[in-house]
Chain A
Amino acid sequence: MSDTVKDTAGSLVEVDGLTVDFGGLRAVDGLGFRLERGAALALVGESGSGKSTVASALLGLHRGTGAEVGGTIEVAGLDVGRASEDALRRLRGGTAAMVFQDPLSSLDPYYAVGDQIAEVYRVHTRASRRAARARAVEVLDRVGIPDAVRRSRSRPHEFSGGMRQRALIAMALACEPELLIADEPTTALDVTVQAQILDLLHTLREETGMGLLLVTHDVGVAAESVDEVLVMRHGRQVEHGSVTEVLGAPREPYTRELLGAVPRVDAPRAGRAEPGAETGAGSDAGSGAGCDAGSASGSDGPGEPVLEAVGLHRVFGRGKKAFAAVDGVSITVRRGETLGVVGESGSGKTTLGRMLVGLLEPTAGEVRHDGHARVGVDPSVQMVFQDPVSSLNPRRSVGESIADPLRARGERDETRIRARVRELLERVGLEAAHHDRYPHEFSGGQRQRVGIARALAADPRVIVCDEPVSALDVTTQAQVVALLAELQRELGLALVFIAHDLAVVRQVSDRVAVMRRGRIVEQGPADQVYDHPQDPYTGQLLAAVPALDPAVAARRRSARREPATI
């Protein structure tokens, strides 16, 4: 034991044969890696791969939770498994600090941000209250919070998502740790903000010489930020090497699969089925939906408009607080095509989607179905929601949820309803036997399939998908996207695909509309918008997308930094 301590004196992190068991379930299985001082390593994997469990283990956070940790972990020479409670507390936040994923829930909503940072600082330094507050302001200023003295007195809900993430990084910096562990630090953020946060981490690392352990499911984020990548799956290491090797020339099939599933913002949409294939799938369409027999034949070439928005406005609040979430949006969705709507959070894309479906009445303007103005919901336009967990009632079986639109339409014959639901379940790639199961028994991707089946139940002609894949892993994402494309082809559906992820939108859309502050700044054929953006904002968004090639990423970072220094 003691000779290994000597041996790793130079390394910041030394993990050897790490196993973590949660009551019989092995989350991490024989993992080993080493991180030198000042170096950066990314743990990349899909949800359930055990990557976050490793991050927690580095701080000894599993102690007292019932999880069994085996193997050895040393952080800055401290044997985490054997360290005393006091030594562990000094490690946490002092030597190694963790930046968590969701910056809203990771800060205490009741206290001012500055006070929370000061509290952490005082735990490690015994500084006076005043000195701790001053330090909090200093680090907030350091991470780029404008007017840090005043903003340090704000509570987390008064910060934007990006500022909250900065505040969490500031908390991590407070005690000048040697190691920064960032667990999905940008997952909840918009792409431009993500780029800012990644740049910030990069700069801080250059200046302070901290080591960085980045945990992420996003290969692009890893490519932007680290020197080494460790790909994980089912708690085991799949591939470990320098970022250029692993991402540029992956050896393992799983790494290749993972990289293949990542949607590329710079590649045109994969080939779509010919219009002829749609009529060819007629027999299949008959099994899917009786009402669509005629629609497929009419979808050669650009179809006629099925759903139009004309001058849509939506204002929330009154008087001085009035805020136009959607401010004059006109779009057309044609039969059988996919219209992508991209924009950052707060751009009004969800509000637009809700108005298209009729869940929200526009303040001005109108929604037209087949050229006729339409008020309220209509079975022919359905919606698939972002969060498949909260958009399904946990107390009802998925079969009942899928049957809702049928019952809403007046269907009362239980055997017919059951038959149709089973048919829909199979249609979306689930099993008819899943009818009586409950949402918690399904994985995220399966739940989203249930959501799609529910949308299909009413034989819609248009489905509005609001961030349908943003909660899913890349491989699952690719499967759900493929399912949507297949359904579209076979049923002649028109899709409105709302998302913040530019790459996914490019992958699925015929035409794209870019939204910002309630307006559409640019719309047109997908390839044209992505390859020759007309609006500077579109260009800005595209430039912020993480590149999979580390060399390109570095080039872009310096390009982004140029204007920032002025």
Chain B
Amino acid sequence: MNGFGGFAVRRAAGAVVTLLALSVIIYVVFYVTPGDVAQITCGPRCSPAQVQQVSAQLHLDDPLYARYWHFLQGIVAGQDYSTGTSVQHCSAPCLGLSYQSDQQVLTLILAKLPVTASLALGSMVLWLIIGVGTGVLSVWRRGRLTERLLTTVTLAGMSTPVFVIGLVLMIVVCGQLELLPFPQYVPFTDDPEQWAWNLLLPWLSLALVESATYARITRAAMLETLTEDHVRTFRAYGVGERAVIGRHALRGALAPLIAVNANNIGVLFGGAVLTETLFGLPGVGREMVEAVKVVDLPVVVGMVLVTGFFVVLANAVADVLYALADRRVVLT
């Protein structure tokens, strides 16, 4: 348990450093990016005086380090924002206010997160089933027509953009066959059944694209394991092909699957822009695109930090799973 505690502490410290570095980079990038943020925020019809006022209000005239320091203070201690008439308090892990809407960034992100999380986790389940299943099948039928067919299909899957698959699915399933209504996000807490039905197509299109990668990883790792000595041992002891593949070869594919899946899911939590846009899902990805368009620095920084947080978290979870899957691995 001591070893695990040490691992957790080291990982947490690493995460803080990573996230700080990320925020600094975003601040610098946005600082050197051309464009008058105050003008954009205020709108095209603002007078120079109004622009000036907005600029002062958003501390845009302060030097970079002062603004960054202000941002860090907000995270640690919270911040009070005056919006002209009233004072808004943004409590402790405060990522600031959106330039555009004066809403707290954290609230904004947390409102979008369930959508993205629903999309990411649901499609993860599907792509693992489809991908690993396809991989196992192509190993089981290796050297035969089925394998060649599957290899071709997965290659096609890998090279097809998600919006093509999504569009085709939508046109066929919703438009032609009318099996499902056009997707419209329903929160899980409102109606779990409708939530699932509406997300089915987004899940499927994302999963189909991703599963190609997983099928390839599974197949490659299993084929490699099959050449190893311990597989020969079990064959020489009369263990059938089904057990050799299902028990011994698949187990060897677990580690690479965990590693790739962790990265994938972490990044997806930062938003699946194409899928969200195509299916009109109000998720983190779409919000991010909007924020970048209007140079809404606090929102962008907040989004990047949240994405970074999930990537770090997913990788830490992956390391734990990795160590559970392969007992030779020691967590450090």
A, B bound: yes
User: 12 interchain pairs (CB within 8 A)?
Assistant: A59-B236, A92-B236, A105-B229, A107-B233, A108-B230, A108-B248, A108-B251, A110-B325, A110-B327, A116-B234, A119-B234, A120-B239
Task: Report whether B237 and A155 are in contact in the complex, using a CB–CB cutoff of 8 Å.
Answer: no
Q: Which of B229, B252, B326 contacts A102 (CB 8 A)?
A: B229
> A110 near B326 (CB under 8 angstroms)?
yes
For chain B, residues 280 to 332, give those with C-beta under 8 angstroms from any C-beta of chain A.
325-328
Q: How far is the CA of A110 from the CA of B251 in the complex (A)?
A: 7
At the interface, yes or no: B70 with Cβ under 8 Å from chain A? Answer: no
Closest to A112 in B: B327
Count the B residues whose beta carbon is within 8 Å of the partner chain — how many? Answer: 22
A124 to B325, CA, bound (A): 28
Q: Is B45 an interface residue (CB 8 A)?
A: no
Q: Would you call B93 an interface residue if the criterion is a C-beta within 8 Å of the partner chain's C-beta atoms?
A: no
Complex: chain B residue closest to A108, CB-CB: B230
Which chain B residues lie closer than 8 Å to A157 at the CB level? Answer: 327-328
Secondary structure of the B contact surface, majority rule:
helix
B236 touches A119 (CB 8 A): no
A286 within 8 A of B: no
- Which A residues are in CB contact (< 8 Å) with B247? 111, 119
Q: Most chain-A CB neighbours within 10 Å: which of B233, B234, B243?
A: B233
Contact present for B236 and A61 (CB under 8 Å) = yes
Whether A91 sits at the interface, judged by CB under 8 Å, is yes
- B215-231 toward A: CB 8 Å interface, digit per residue (1/0)? 00000000000001110
Instruction: Assess whether B238 is in contact with A123, with CB atoms less than 8 Å apart.
Output: yes
Whether B236 pairs with A93 at a CB distance below 8 angstroms is yes
Of the residues B237, B251, B254, B325, contact of A120 by C-beta under 8 Å: B237
Contact A108–B234 (Cβ < 8 Å): yes
Q: How far is the CA of A94 from the CA of B239 in the complex (A)?
A: 11
| A171 CA / B326 CA spacing, docked (Å) | 22
Residue of A nearest to B235 (CB): A61
Q: Interface on A for B, CB 8 Å cutoff?
A: 56, 59, 61, 88-94, 97-98, 100, 102, 105-111, 116, 119-120, 123-124, 155, 157-158, 168, 171
B46 to A: closest C-beta gap in Å = 63
User: Could you say which residues of chain B place their CB within 8 Å of the CB of A92?
Assistant: 235-238
Residues of B within 8 A of A (CB): 228-230, 232-240, 243, 247-248, 251-252, 254, 325-328
Contacts of B240 in A (CB 8 A): 89, 123
Of all chain A residues, the one with the shortest Cβ separation from B236 is A98
Q: How far is the CA of A102 from the CA of B229 in the complex (A)?
A: 8
B133: min CB distance to chain A, Å: 20
Q: Which of A56, A93, A108, A109 contacts B238 (CB 8 A)?
A: A93
CB distance from A523 to the nearest CB of B (A): 37
User: Contacts A105-B228, A123-B239 given; 9 further ones with Cβ under 8 A?
Assistant: A102-B229, A106-B229, A107-B230, A108-B233, A109-B328, A110-B254, A119-B239, A120-B238, A157-B327
Q: Please, how many angstroms separate the alpha-carbon atoms of A120 and B236 in the complex?
A: 10
A93–B251 Cα distance when bound, in Å, is: 23
CB neighbours of A109 from chain B (8 A) = 230, 326, 328
Distance A524 CA – B198 CA, assembled complex (angstroms):
83
Provide the residues of chain B in CB contact with A111, threshold 8 Å: 247, 251
